[in-house]
Amino acid sequence: MNEAVLIRGDGIGPEIADAVVSILEKAGAQIKWHEAIAGEACIERGKDPMPEEVLADISAKGLALKGPLTTPVGKGYRSANVAMRQALNLYANLRPARNLPGVESVKENVDLIIVRENTEDLYAGIEHKIGDYAAESIKLITRPASERIAEFAYRYAIAHNRKKVSAVHKANIMKLSDGLFLESVQNIGVKYPQIESDDVIVDNLCMQLVIKPHAYDVLVLPNLYGDIVSDLCAGLVGGLGVAPSGNIGENTAVFEAVHGSAPKHAGKGTANPIALLLAAVMLLEHCEQQEVAGKVKQSLYQTLQEKDSLTPDLGGQGNTKTFAQAIMHRM
């Protein structure tokens, strides 16, 4: 039995989390959930959106499944998601982008692994105003963090039988910061001659991914490019409703959907639970419950292929609950 923290999250979070927890239970997952509150519910109680005790709990268990948390745009409190990743040193954000059976997509046979550095770059939160007319954000790139994420990408490539790692950058313009990222990845790549290494400028990559995503395999990127490019890749395979992710550190891992709290869909019961479900599958694989993970995936794929109770974002007329029931029915 594994113990894991469960944060249901904001907006559509509680609806999709309930569906996912029921599916895992039905599949026989050996997980004891410890529910914790973060995000808007904490703000309403005058607390930090990612309270210290929640961080301590995740750190003690080493494992969490997290629903999306809302971050106000341009004002208000700092992102609880970014704070969590930094506080727990969850330095690698792993975002696979693959087609799912029966889900309409812009491209077929996409199989990309996005490895995003998760602790620094423009997300370090170092920004200030310069008088009333300007504002400055610091893009922090360090050699240790860049080498660490490169190690993760190459080790992942070897463990999962991948062929190539591409370093993504804009070192033609940001010669020092992105230059250091590129140099660090290249230094690590030399240690892994069995994996092909190359590099690509981020704007060119975006165009190439839309035209020929099959030219890429594992992508390793600084934080901001990783965030943007992984949404693009989610768009290639069916949208944000189907894209999972893992935030992984030395001893702790937090799994979540790539998407946010989608406030305009909240409370309607129609949100797609697949992204969080696939994140839960990553969690199961992480704690070596491969058999249960396989069972969940098989039932999900069958449900998708038979287009049973699909949520509206996938063109169906089902809802979160009926879709979850259709998956459980196949177990």
Q: Is 197 helix (H, G, I), strand (E, B) or coil?
A: strand
Residues classed as catalytic: 123, 170, 203, 227
Q: How far is the CB of 260 from ligand NAI (least distance, A)?
A: 2
**Alpha carbons 235 and 107: distance in angstroms, whole number:** 9
- Closest contact distance (angstroms) between CB of 327 and ligand NAI is 15
Exposure b/e, 102-129, CB count within 10 A at least 16 = b? bbebebeebebbbbbbbbbbbbbeeeee
Residue closer to ligand NAI by CB (options 183, 313) is 313
Q: Under DSSP, is residue 173 helix (H, G, I), strand (E, B) or coil?
A: coil
State in angstroms the smallest separation of the CB of 18 from ligand NAI.
Answer: 13
> Minimum distance from CB of 173 to ligand NAI (Å)?
26
Cβ proximity to ligand NAI: between 68 and 189 the closer is 68
Q: What is the DSSP string of 112-169?
A: EEEEEE-S-BGGG--EEEETTTEEEE--B--HHHHHHHHHHHHHHHHHTT--EEEEEE
Binding residues for ligand NAI, rule: CB under 6 A, are 12, 16, 68-71, 81, 240-241, 256, 259-265, 271-272, 275, 313
C-beta of 184 vs 261, nearer to ligand NAI: 261
Long-range contacts for 28-31 (Cβ within 8 Å, ≥24 apart)?
A: 28/292, 28/295, 29/284, 29/289, 29/292, 30/1, 30/2, 30/289, 30/292, 31/1, 31/2, 31/3, 31/4, 31/283, 31/284, 31/287, 31/289
CB-nearer residue toward ligand NAI: 124 or 228:
228
Q: Which is nearer to ligand NAI, 10 or 178 (CB)?
A: 10
CA 162 to chain centroid: 19
In the DSSP assignment, the letter for residue 20 is: H
Shortest distance in whole angstroms from residue 305 CB to ligand NAI? 19
